[in-house]
Structure 1
Amino acid sequence: MSEYVTMVRPRWSDMDVFGHVNHANMVTLLEEARIPLLFDEATAEGLGEFAKGIVVVRLAVDYKAPVVVNGTDIRVGITLSELRAASFTLAYRVHNGQSEQDPVAVTARTTLAPYDLGAARPRRLTDAEREFLGARIPQGGGRA
């Protein structure tokens, strides 16, 4: 499966009493996985509006195995599962290690909407943003 790949490093503070990444902290790791793409890479291509406002509309996380904090990065693969006029959905595959061959521990989906902070409302994606998303994030299937 072709996907946008990034590495994130769970912190010791992300652990729960069982030594696994706490469920709420996993959501933060998903956010950290998409930030380089939607903020850094988009801004570098002249699309700085994502960094000025984007909100999570929907979030679904499925845990298949615990992610253990051991001081190393974990692999997060991201695909674009839906692209609409005013929102898009990213699907995530979080591996328990740095390789695509490492077991998938978590799958997730976030639906995101660009947001105009000044007007305090969601906005439509521009043609350039839609093109960026379609070009930079491989199209995945409907489910993570």
Structure 2
Amino acid sequence: MDAFGHLNHASMVTLLEEARVPLLFGTAAGEGLADFAKGIVVVRLTVDYRAPVVVEGGDVRVDITLSELRHASFTLDYRVHNGPSVEDGVAVTARTTLAPYDLGGGRPRRLTEREREFLLAHIPSGGEL
């Protein structure tokens, strides 16, 4: 929390990460795509605040959509609601562009066809793909 009792920026970025990690690492690994957990890096991050997020022991809702899918990166859009329901107002919108990364080689890599299929199957499209 910041001095005003709002979720601060660093915590918001962590919240976004916590929203995508179970899907990209847990669900993907469960479907045989362990390379996601071995290396995905954030290439770009933008966060737009519409309203303060005040957490008083309650939940917030984070909706994630796939807005762009390229051969070596993909972009996720986030809508953070000020409560657990879609009816709760959207307080934050954000976007991350992520790229698969070859840790051993020390460089970005292309998405495999199975990884692309996974993303299309598990994340609703929020843009033109």
The bucket for the TM-score relative to the shorter chain is over 0.9
Where in structure 1 do 4 or more consecutive aligned residues deviate above 2 Å? none
- The C-alpha deviation readout for 1:78-128, integer Å capped at 9, x for no partner, is 000000000000000000000000000000000000001000000000000
Residue in 2 aligned with 1:10? none
Higher relative contact order (CA 8 A, sep 6+): 1
Q: How far off is 1:141 after superposition?
A: 2.6
Scaled by the length of structure 2, the TM-score of the pair is 0.97
Residue in 2 aligned with 1:75? 61
Pairwise CA RMSD of aligned residues? 0.8
State the alpha-carbon separation in 1 of the partners of residues 127 and 47 from structure 2: 16
User: Superposition pairs for residues 1-144 of structure 1, below 5 Å?
Assistant: 15-141=1-127
Quick one: which amino acid aligns to residue 72 of structure 1? G
Q: How far off is 1:66 after superposition?
A: 0.5
- The C-alpha deviation readout for 1:27-69, integer Å capped at 9, x for no partner, is 1100000001000000000001111100000001000000002
Instruction: Structure 1 unaligned segments of length 5 or more: list them.
Output: 1-14
Q: SS of the counterpart of 1:79?
A: strand
Aligned pairs, how many?
128
State the alpha-carbon separation in 2 of the partners of residues 137 and 109 from structure 1: 14
Scaled by the length of structure 1, the TM-score of the pair is 0.87
Residue in 2 aligned with 1:11? none
